[in-house]
Every structure is written in structure tokens, then in C-alpha cells.
Amino acid sequence: MEPVTVSVARRDLRVALSGPAGVNTILTLDVAGKSYPAIVKELQRHPVRRTVSHVDFLQIDLSEEITVSVPVRLEGTAKAVVANGGLVDPAVDSIELRCTPANMPNEIVIDITDMTVETVIHLKDVALPAGTTAVGDPDLLIVTVLTLRQDTAAPAGEGEAATAAGAEEAPAASDESAS
């Protein structure tokens, strides 16, 4: 199909994309009396008002695989990480998947309940829904753990007190040698 310029009412677009699939919603576009299944290929927003200023739709064949970006949602609480003062850090907010439109998930849910401070979740570790394949490096970091680095040296307050005490003793020693 040749590219076609279409106009869509903002309200209709907002309602169509407000479902659980978001921008991965399969839409039916009626153009010149014909209906075409499509998804949003690119969505551009006004930088200040955040209103949609431009949309590119991609006509799809419901039986052929397509590549889509699916959001990642972390579920659960990593109690072992929290107990050790760590923070679970999602390295990405979406994963590229190859699937048919019928198998396209709304989101990828990753359970982080069993994570520890040493745990790292890679793309190859993510359980994907049936009929989907991840696109990209299997070693891509998806979820990591951030921790505060512990200093093995004495805290700054103690070190300063020792330095101040040493400074007080030094002049006393030099006074004795001067007499």
C-alpha cells in the first residue's frame, strides 16, 4: 500500500489508544471506503502541551509477524534487596518482541520477589508469552540492583579527630626541643 495522508480526531485516537495495549492496540483504519488493520508506528507529541501532533500508522497483516516494543512492569518486592539497603533498578522500560498481532502482549511482567543484591536479570532470563520472541542481545540487562558502596577506611569524623589530636601533640614536642 502506498503511504496515505489521513486525519484522525484527537479524541478518537486518545480513546482508541487508552486501553491496556496502549500504542500497541490493533486499530481498524477506514480509508476511502476500505478498512485496514494497523498499529501506531510512531507517535509525536508537542514538547510542552504533550498533545499528539503527528502519528504514523503501519498497516499490518494479522497473520504475519511484526516487531513491537512492549512495556516492562516489575511486580513484587525484593525483600532481600531492601534489607541490604539496595534498590531494584529497571535498566529498560520496554522490550522489543517479534510476534503476530494476535500474540502481542500488553506488557511483560517480571517478578522481582526473589531478587538478591547479586541478582541481575538479562533478556534471556525473561519469561515471554507463547508465540513471542525477544529481539536483541540475550545478555541485555533488563533489571539490576543498585547498592551503596561501603568505605573500609575510618569514617571522616574519626579521621579528622585523630589528625587534630596529632596536630596538638606535634607543637608540644617541638616546644620541648626548642628549650
pLDDT single digits (tens) 123-135: 999 999 999 999 9
| Contact partners, residue 106, CB within 8 Å, separation at least 6 | 20, 21, 22, 24, 70
- Residue 174 region, left (φ>0) first, then alpha (ψ -120 to 50), else beta? alpha
> pTM for the whole thing?
0.71
User: What's 43's DSSP letter?
Assistant: E
126: exposed, middle or buried (C-beta count within 10 Å: 0-12, 13-18, 19+)? middle
Give residue 1's pLDDT. 63
Answer yes or no: do 45 and 30 share one domain.
yes
Answer yes or no: do 71 and 40 share one domain.
no
Answer yes or no: do 88 and 125 share one domain.
yes
pLDDT in tens, 65-100: 999 999 999 999 999 999 998 999 999 999 999 999
Q: Is residue 174 in some structural domain? A: no
Answer yes or no: do 45 and 90 share one domain.
no
Is 157's pLDDT higher than 70? no
Answer yes or no: do 85 and 51 share one domain.
no
Enclosing domain of residue 136: 66-146
Answer yes or no: do 26 and 74 share one domain.
no
- Between 23 and 67, residue with greater pLDDT: 67
pLDDT category of residue 172 using cuts at 50, 70 and 90: very low
Q: Parallel, antiparallel, or unpaired for β 52-59 and 34-45? A: antiparallel
Is 43's pLDDT higher than 90? no
Answer yes or no: do 78 and 124 share one domain.
yes
Q: Is residue 45 in some structural domain? A: yes
Q: Is residue 177 in some structural domain? A: no
Q: Is residue 173 in some structural domain? A: no
- Asked which of 40, 59, 78 is the last residue of a domain, the reply is 59
Answer yes or no: do 54 and 97 share one domain.
no
Instruction: State the sign of the Cα–Cα–Cα–Cα dihedral 36, 40, 41, 42.
Output: positive
Reduced 3-state DSSP string for 85-150: CCEEEECCCEEEEEECHHHCCCCEEEECCCCCCCCCEEHHHCCCCCCEEECCCCCCEEEEEECCCC
Q: Tell me how many domains the chain contains.
A: 2
The arithmetic mean of pLDDT across residues 42-55, rounded, is 88
Q: What is the CATH number of the domain that holds 91?
A: 2.170.120.20
Q: Is residue 131 in some structural domain? A: yes
Q: Is residue 89 in some structural domain? A: yes
| Inter-residue contact 115 to 78 (CB < 8 Å) | yes
* N-terminal to C-terminal alpha carbon distance within the chain: 102
Answer yes or no: do 70 and 55 share one domain.
no
Poorest-confidence range of 1-15, 17-31, 69-83, 98-112? 1-15
Mean pLDDT of the chain: 84
